């Protein structure tokens, strides 16, 4: 895909699309297959770049991967796992943070691991200090090298007691994927309990792990000597479902998201209703629509689960530019997640960002010079513009803004959106969007 999209705005999105497995679960379950003595099968797998990256990385380590993208089924046979060549890993890993989660499984299987410098969206510094400290606590020797990090576990890995400074999703997954085969008990306090993590725990339990989650978000894992394969169908991608819901609101449309599930989206649904959106939960998905009239401004703080997810924030901000009055958004998970608002201001939005905490939640970024609060004044008509996509969720927000704007926008760098939104061009077409993909300078193919 050339990465340049022409978008003729002003048409409400209307129709049905399907959302499949959660991007932020599927890649972790694929890594978990490395821990099994038998083959595994994962279903409801979306056809997105992150899945390809992890499949290639597993293949480099000797895992036999068979992927049927149409059927959404991936089978993983880890019985011949071997160390990969550093240069090859780097070639594939560049755009993802998932490689850091290979550490525990590779240390158990091979006694060592090499992890290249990580990629992922630029929405903050995104350090991996929690990950490396956790691996050291399990007994790994961490050696930082020019191209990345080499780890070894000469004495094997032993269960330990870990307290997370912040309920990090990745650090929780790091602990789970390492503790299940470590000797003895591991106790993880201040853990993240996102639905994607609970689905990963379900997968590990199917493999033979012993894991409990207490009411105070302490997770306890009893290490076992052997894990089998798993067969599992991934939970739906609540981030993608929320993104299309916000798109329906911003374009005054009506979208049925087949596959969306209510339990994982309760907080989003409450917020969607407060803004003035309407939704109908059905057996096979959720219908989201703009019921007419004005949208209402709100005060919003992102948080770890069950709070309002940080990945829902960017698409919703576009809808808030169309709401009456002043909305306030306090981003407490990432320190730099309002960069995408530059392009929205260029399209006519009135958004001011602040380094103060504009909310009551405890936040690590107050007075540290991070612009992590935003005030949005609406409604403001959006004008078409030439836009460069900054990151995955910000990029989808730019797409929504272009669809809501009057006139024709040119959105560059849309390849990034392929990382987390399956077949989004087909979905835009199914919803009646007037978009065309530039094949080369001067040529367009109507999509």
Residues within the interface to ligand EPZ (CB under 6 A)? 23-24, 97, 121, 124-131, 166, 168-171, 239, 310-311, 333-334, 392-393, 420
Cβ atoms of 342 and 315 closer than 8 Å:
no
Q: Is 23 annotated as a binding residue?
A: yes
Angle between helices 238-250 and 266-275 (to 10 degrees): 10
Residues 6+ apart with CB under 8 A from 250: 315, 318, 319, 321, 322, 400, 401, 403, 404
Q: How far is the CB of 262 from ligand EPZ (least distance, A)?
A: 19
Nearest to 28 by CA among 51, 49, 46, 47: 51
Q: Is 226 annotated as a binding residue?
A: no
Residue nearest to ligand EPZ (CB): 170
User: Please, which residue, 260 or 385, has the CB nearer to ligand EPZ?
Assistant: 260
324 annotated ligand-binding residue: no
**In 365-423, alpha helices (H):** 392-404
| Residue found by looking up tokens 């090298």 in the block | 145
Q: Minimum CB separation from ligand EPZ for residue 368, in Å?
A: 12
Phi-psi region of 47 (alpha: psi -120 to 50; beta: other; left: phi over 0): beta
Shortest reach from residue 392's CB to ligand EPZ, in Å: 5
103 is catalytic: no
Q: Which of 103, 121, 357, 363 is catalytic?
A: 121
Nearest alpha-carbon partner for 96 in 126, 76, 74, 70 = 126
Angstrom distance (rounded) from CA 21 to CA 259: 9
Rounded Cα distance, 381 and 28, in Å:
41
In this complex, which beta carbon is closest to ligand EPZ, that of residue 138 or of residue 289? 138
Give whichever of 23 and 290 is closer to ligand EPZ, judged by the CB atom. 23
CB nearer to ligand EPZ: pick between 17 and 121: 121
- In the complex, least distance from residue 247 CB atom to ligand EPZ, rounded to whole angstroms: 16
**Based on CB atoms, which residue is closest to ligand EPZ, 13 or 169?**
169
CB of 350 to ligand EPZ, least distance (A): 26
CA gap 333, 352 in Å, rounded: 19
Q: Evaluate whether 114 touches 136 at the Cβ level (below 8 Å).
A: no
The verdict on whether residue 97 carries a ligand-binding annotation is: yes
β-strands 386-388, 231-233 pairing = unpaired
Q: Per the annotation, does 371 bind a ligand?
A: no
Residues annotated as catalytic (active site), given as ranges: 121
Residue list, annotated binding site = 23-24, 97, 311, 333
Residue list, annotated binding site for UDP-N-acetyl-alpha-D-glucosamine = 97, 311, 333
């Amino acid at each position: 895909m050339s990465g340049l999209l022409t978008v003729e705005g002003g048409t409400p999105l209307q129709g049905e699309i399907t959302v499949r497995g959660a991007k932020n679960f599927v890649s972790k379950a694929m890594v978990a297959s490395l821990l099994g003595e038998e083959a595994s099968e994962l279903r409801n797998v979306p056809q997105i770049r992150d899945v390809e990256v992890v499949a290639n990385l597993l293949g480099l380590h000797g895992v036999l991967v068979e992927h049927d993208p149409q059927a959404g089924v991936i089978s993983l046979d880890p019985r011949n796992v071997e160390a990969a060549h550093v240069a090859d890993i780097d070639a594939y890993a560049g755009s993802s943070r998932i490689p850091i989660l290979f550490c525990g499984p590779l240390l158990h299987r091979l006694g060592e691991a090499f992890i290249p410098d990580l990629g992922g969206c630029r929405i903050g510094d995104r350090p991996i200090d929690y990950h490396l400290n956790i691996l050291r606590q399990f007994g790994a020797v961490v050696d930082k090298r020019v191209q990345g990090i080499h780890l070894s576990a000469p004495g094997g890995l032993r269960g330990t007691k870990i307290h997370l400074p912040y309920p990090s999703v990745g650090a929780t997954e790091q602990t789970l994927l390492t503790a299940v085969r470590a000797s003895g008990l591991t106790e993880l306090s201040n853990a993240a309990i996102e639905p994607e993590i609970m689905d990963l725990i379900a997968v590990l339990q199917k493999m033979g792990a012993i894991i409990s989650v207490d009411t105070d978000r302490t997770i306890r894992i009893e290490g076992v000597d052997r894990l089998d394969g798993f067969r599992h169908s991934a939970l739906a991608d609540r981030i993608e479902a929320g993104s299309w819901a916000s798109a329906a609101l911003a374009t005054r449309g009506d979208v049925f998201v087949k596959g969306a599930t209510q339990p994982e989206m309760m907080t989003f649904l409450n917020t969607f209703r407060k803004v003035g959106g309407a939704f109908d939960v059905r057996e096979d998905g959720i219908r989201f629509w703009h019921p007419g009239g004005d949208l209402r401004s709100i005060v919003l703080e992102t948080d770890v689960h069950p709070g309002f997810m940080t990945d829902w924030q960017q698409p919703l901000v576009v809808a808030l530019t169309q709401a009456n009055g002043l909305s306030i958004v306090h981003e407490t998970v990432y320190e730099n997640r309002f960069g995408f608002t530059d392009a929205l201001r260029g399209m006519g939005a009135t958004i001011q960002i602040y380094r103060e905490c504009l909310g009551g939640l405890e936040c690590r970024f107050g007075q540290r010079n991070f612009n992590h609060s935003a005030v949005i004044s609406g409604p403001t008509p959006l004008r078409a513009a030439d836009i460069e996509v900054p990151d995955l969720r910000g990029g989808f927000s730019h797409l929504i803004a272009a669809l809501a704007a009057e006139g024709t926008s040119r959105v560059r760098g849309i390849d990034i959106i392929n990382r987390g939104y399956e077949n989004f061009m087909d979905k835009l077409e199914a919803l009646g969007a007037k978009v065309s993909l530039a094949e080369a300078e001067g040529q367009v193919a109507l999509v």
